[in-house]
Amino acid sequence: MSSVTKAVVPAAGLGTRFLPATKATPKEMLPIVDKPAIQYVVEEAVAAGLSDVLFITGRSKRSLEDHFDRNVELEAALAAKGDQARLELVSQATDLARIHYVRQLEALGLGHAVLCAEQHVGNESFAVLLGDDLIDQRDAVLPRMIEVQQRYGGSVVCLMEVEPHEISQYGAAAVEATDEVDVVRVTDLVEKPAVEEAPSGLAVIGRYVLSPDVFPVLRSTAPGRGGEIQLTDALRTLARDGSGVHGVLFRGRRYDTGNKLSYLQATVRIALDREDLGVEFRQWLQDLLAGAEK
Ligand code: UTP
């Protein structure tokens, strides 16, 4: 039985890279085929055994709360029609987990968003899943991260090798090998470095298993890049003072749904894999690319 049971899902960012869609809708609510991105993320947390989910929400949170709430009127209408299949789709999000909300009053950064979870999390290790970061369920990494956290203690980040020109969009890690091929010890972290200042091509992506030691460090972390309180800066402090930050190397399929190109890639990939849509959609795409489709 895992001692990590709580998932924190920050979803209070401004989503400026996806304007104008995100003017009144959180980017986490944008659909990937027919399901909001955030539901995939909650399903991933639940599949990893995390049954308690805390959303950190911000402005225009209503659609997000409504999505995980019951819609009694819609349920009654579908039940009256005998539409069991759609009734199940509607109830899925509600029945997934015990869901809680905390509001981040100002978008002061991911570190600040995580700090908003302190009271709910208490003195336990907990997972953080970014609501705009989609990991293909076939490449699930969170169970391995929880296992690594249980073995080494401290905090665990998820690291993915990215192209040199991409590293400046991420936190970059300096690492040392361990006895396990997919686990490294993190010795330093730099938030969004210029390519020549990056300690490696290993980028921190949106899955973390954190020790509660991170809270006091976050409280004393000054605003960093972009005037925001950066989670990377707090983890850097923990990595440098020897409290232990490990990284799990991830090589699977992952999308940043807050980025337009990556969002489109996620939509196409997931649609192609869908039993109900894949065959027809693939044919249409092939025709389109061959110039046969107008
Ligand atoms: P991003 O770095 O993608 O920032 O946040 P953003 O503001 O959401 O989006 P852009 O860059 O303006 O397009 C990474 C994650 O941290 C959350 C976001 O919701 C996202 O899941 N976040 C960020 C917060 O919850 N609060 C914040 O103050 C900042």
Q: Please tell me if the CB atom of residue 130 comes closer than 6 angstroms to any atom of ligand 1.
A: yes
Low-confidence ranges of the chain (pLDDT < 50): 1
The alpha carbon of 176 and the centre of ligand 1 are apart by a number of angstroms equal to 29
At 271 the pLDDT is 97
Cα separation, 247 vs 228, in Å, equals 23
Q: Please tell me if the CB atom of residue 111 comes closer than 6 angstroms to any atom of ligand 1.
A: no
Q: Please tell me if the CB atom of residue 258 comes closer than 6 angstroms to any atom of ligand 1.
A: yes
pTM higher than 0.75:
yes
At 1 the pLDDT is 43
At 294 the pLDDT is 65
Relative to the CA of 131, which ligand 1 atom is closest? Answer: 21
The alpha carbon of 71 and the centre of ligand 1 are apart by a number of angstroms equal to 28
Do the Cβ atoms of 223 and 203 come closer than 8 Å?
no
The alpha carbon of 80 and the centre of ligand 1 are apart by a number of angstroms equal to 41
Do the Cβ atoms of 34 and 59 come closer than 8 Å?
no
Q: What single string gives the DSSP state of each residue in 18-47?
A: GTTTTSSS-GGGSEETTEEHHHHHHHHHHH
Q: Where are the domains of the chain?
A: 6-258
At 2 the pLDDT is 53
The alpha carbon of 109 and the centre of ligand 1 are apart by a number of angstroms equal to 7
Cα separation, 82 vs 90, in Å, equals 14
pLDDT tens for 248-266 read: 999 999 999 999 999 999 9
- Copy the structure tokens of residue 268: 């196409």
Which of the listed residues 8, 9, 14, 204 should we mutate to test ligand 1's pocket, taking the one with most ligand atoms within 8 A of CB? 14
Ligand 1, atom 10: closest residue by C-alpha: 15
Three-state SS across 92-120?
HHHHCCEEEEEECCCCCCHHHHHHCCHHH
Bridge partners of 129?
A: 207
Ligand 1, atom 9: closest residue by C-alpha: 15
Domain 6-258 class, CATH top level: alpha beta
Q: Please tell me if the CB atom of residue 36 comes closer than 6 angstroms to any atom of ligand 1.
A: no
130 CB burial (10 A radius; 0-12, 13-18, 19+): buried
At 127 the pLDDT is 98
At 124 the pLDDT is 95
